[in-house]
Chain A
């Protein structure tokens, strides 16, 4: 009794936050109804006609829906994998640096791109990969004829994945750097007395030390498998690379915003959420089975 009364204050303090959550996260969920209607703004949710699964059926009859899903998954998966490998290795490398000034400077510099929006960076990327840009200038010095990177279906996906990883790896490495400081220095001391060299220490102390964090980060990024990065692709793609670069979000933008087909856009969004939810549940299960940790 005494305990629950004490907790009452905390519950009361949480109340405004819960109200916010309810208004901004739960209430909009009723909009999902639109996915099962032929939603007409003038009629509103209550008067629009019900169409059951028609919107979902339509999604799979669109000739390039397969293409769009494949593009999304490939680009998102690539970004996820590099989004773990690069920050982790960067954090490990940075951890080995002794000079504090140098370490901090490098850290700050690599954070910077994270704070720039893709609208700005798109111009930079487009220039770097353009016909008269630095990459093609380099290639021509090796007598390779210029390549139109941004208009080539072969190059578009790798460029999307690489530039996104470049933009985010600095910021992504923060959490690993934090995890590294949490490893007991005594372990390193003991290991070096036992004659372990740097490499051995890395393999046997550092990596096992941050493995739980890596696992959790991987799991948490799994639901993003259908988020290939709208800002980036929308600003960089063109009709020539629709074939390899048109993703779910850009498609939803063209249908939902430009053609104002709210029902169809909601249906696609719902599919995305459901797949994301299933993935996060499975991933959580996997983590619990293979290690003694759990996310929730």
Chain B
């Protein structure tokens, strides 16, 4: 009997322990923000003025610490200073915000990459508990507005946006703000995109010299150069091992001038793949316009002649970069920042000499490009958060130090530490900022003027100054006949060589008219997209003739394309 009771005791306790631990695991964390908000409202009634002042002026700090919860994308490999106990909630960035505005973040969730972040945002929305501040995409922004989950930021922006912020938005005609405005109310602080500039054809100059090739101007010139590269093997890869043009299996993916596409071959014939453009006063989808056929004709011919990677279908981004780095491939399309992708080819081979050409130019002598989405992300504030202006004020600070001149004028320890973080521990900034639309062109102007001695190196933003130092190091190394550091090689080629080309070459710009989603798109788009990718790749690899394009357009229209086109036009009315 005694034994039996003991047994019973053991069984019951284990069961209870296990069950309890199960349930506690599931229980919710206490809501920290409520306490803080409560405390604030008490002090607010006592001394209304400093709170009111903080609420309505750009730089005025709060009289007491204001906390905000945030959903944050964190760089997983960030190197915190040795010996410090810094983390994503307490670091050089957050201490600057705390010091300047008396605000402190509490992280509601942290994510390491974009997919992860989007999933956590979806989760937060599903459970109805979104953080006070977070960044979302356009689709989510609209969803949040529809369901009345975020604050109207019109007043906060009007009262607290700094002149610098307004200036940056003005650099792209305030398109960014317009996209975040619904019913004349501003619902988000948009994170602007930087103009990509022209897509350039990057060629191995050392190969061109070896084969005595002239710089390309027309499509025929490009073809000739690719032909010479492939057949004469200037890189000594062995017969048949050299790949002509590096191309990704999607051929184009919507972002103009991103690496390994061939948008210029399409825009040359007036086609704008993957863009909603205006044609005869109506919005149409660029990928299904007849102009596409001519571009596809050129590319599929090149494929037939072996001028495009025969294994294009199975290449991933990293594979292509490996081909280019190892010297197996000497031609690609990319924007002015190609040296970032080409850095390893320089590390591996001192003699590598990449040259950029903005080709093929149309009859007016200019290349045609299409502009991108004015915004990358939208920063929003939870409905009911007591201090929505915190977001605007914090962005002010970030912009001042990165796009303004505060980094030179402020010599305090906090600022020094902040700059250390910006330069060495990127990716744990809870708020962050954004840049001028023409930031790349501006950087070229400032750096080149400083190198010519026409501009004080401190009369430019901090990042440009870093680049300027790097470019100078590159020039010094070249002067001494030494091999320049690969980072300096990269910065000089990207900022002084290709940026100059971008800055100096006139270009035709097509403005896509629609970046939004229509009601049918979520359901139908993946089918249409699959159809598009499959068709383009099949035509490129000569599995289907170019005429198959017409069949594709027909199928595309029937599978929902027609309806979506109609919806897009309705949305634009």
Residues of A within 8 A of B (CB): 9, 12-13, 15-16, 19-20, 23, 40-44, 58, 62-64, 126, 130-131, 148, 150-151, 238-240, 242-243, 246, 251, 254-255, 258-261, 264
Contacts and interface: CB of A to CB of B under 8 A. Distances in A.
A126 B318 CA distance: 14
Interface stretch (B4-12, B156-164, B370-378): B4-12
Nearest to A65: B527
Given A15-B19, A41-B122, A130-B311, A239 B533 contact: yes
B525 interface: yes
Interface stretch (B139-147, B214-222, B227-235, B436-444): B139-147
B411 interface: no
Contact of B22 (A16, A58, A126, A240): A16
Nearest to A251: B526
A295 B421 CA distance: 62
B310 A259 contact: no
B538 A40 contact: no
Nearest to B143: A42
Contacts of A254: 526, 529-530
Contact of A15 (B8, B15, B147, B534): B15
B143 A258 contact: no
A64 B527 contact: yes
Contacts of A131: 310-311
Nearest 3 A-B pairs (CB), nearest first?
A16-B18, A151-B313, A239-B533
Given A13-B11, A64-B527, A261-B523, A239 B559 contact: no
A148 B311 contact: yes
A243 B144 contact: no
B481 to A, nearest CB: 38
Contact of A63 (B125, B523, B555): B555
A150 B19 contact: no
Contacts of A238: 249, 313-314, 537
Nearest to B558: A63
Given A9-B11, A12-B12, A240-B534, A260 B122 contact: yes
A240 B11 contact: no
Contacts of B146: 42
Contacts, number: 102
A235 to B, nearest CB: 10
A130 B314 contact: yes
Given A64-B527, A151-B313, A255-B526, A40 B7 contact: no
A19 B311 contact: no
Given A23-B22, A41-B143, A150-B313, A9 B8 contact: yes
11 contacts: A9-B7, A12-B11, A15-B19, A63-B527, A63-B555, A63-B558, A131-B310, A148-B311, A151-B541, A240-B541, A264-B523
Contacts of B311: 130-131, 148, 151
Given A15-B19, A130-B314, A242 B530 contact: yes
A44 B126 contact: yes
B26 interface: yes
Interface residues of B, number: 44
Nearest to A16: B18
Interface string B74-117: 00000000000000000000000000000000000000000000
Interface in B489-530: 522-523, 525-527, 529-530
B149 interface: yes
Contacts of A243: 534
B551 to A, nearest CB: 13
Given A12-B15, A246-B530, A254-B530, A63 B559 contact: yes
A41 B314 contact: no
Nearest to B310: A131
A259 B526 contact: yes
A51 to B, nearest CB: 11
B250 interface: yes
A42 B140 CA distance: 9
Given A12-B11, A41-B126, A148 B313 contact: yes
A42 B22 contact: no
B147 A43 contact: yes
B550 interface: no
Contacts of B310: 131, 148
B240 to A, nearest CB: 9
A62 B139 CA distance: 23
B456 interface: no
Nearest to B126: A41
B14 interface: yes
B128 interface: yes
Contact of A239 (B15, B249, B558): B249
A239 B250 CA distance: 8
B522 A42 contact: no
B23 to A, nearest CB: 8
B292 to A, nearest CB: 16
A246 B530 CA distance: 10
A40 B142 CA distance: 12
B543 interface: yes
Contacts of A43: 147
Contacts of A42: 125-126, 143-144, 146-147, 149
Nearest to A45: B126
Contacts of B125: 41-42
A13 B522 contact: no
Given A16-B18, A41-B122, A131-B311, 11 more contacts: A41-B143, A63-B559, A64-B530, A130-B314, A151-B541, A238-B313, A239-B250, A240-B534, A242-B534, A258-B526, A261-B523
A63 B535 CA distance: 15
Contacts of A239: 249-250, 313, 530, 533-534, 536-537
B15 A13 contact: yes
Nearest to B144: A42
A16 B7 CA distance: 18
A9 B310 CA distance: 68
Contacts of B522: 259-261
Nearest to B527: A62
Interface string B305-330: 00000110110000000000000000
A21 B541 CA distance: 51
B314 A150 contact: yes
B537 A240 contact: yes
A161 to B, nearest CB: 19
B527 A240 contact: no
Nearest to A17: B18
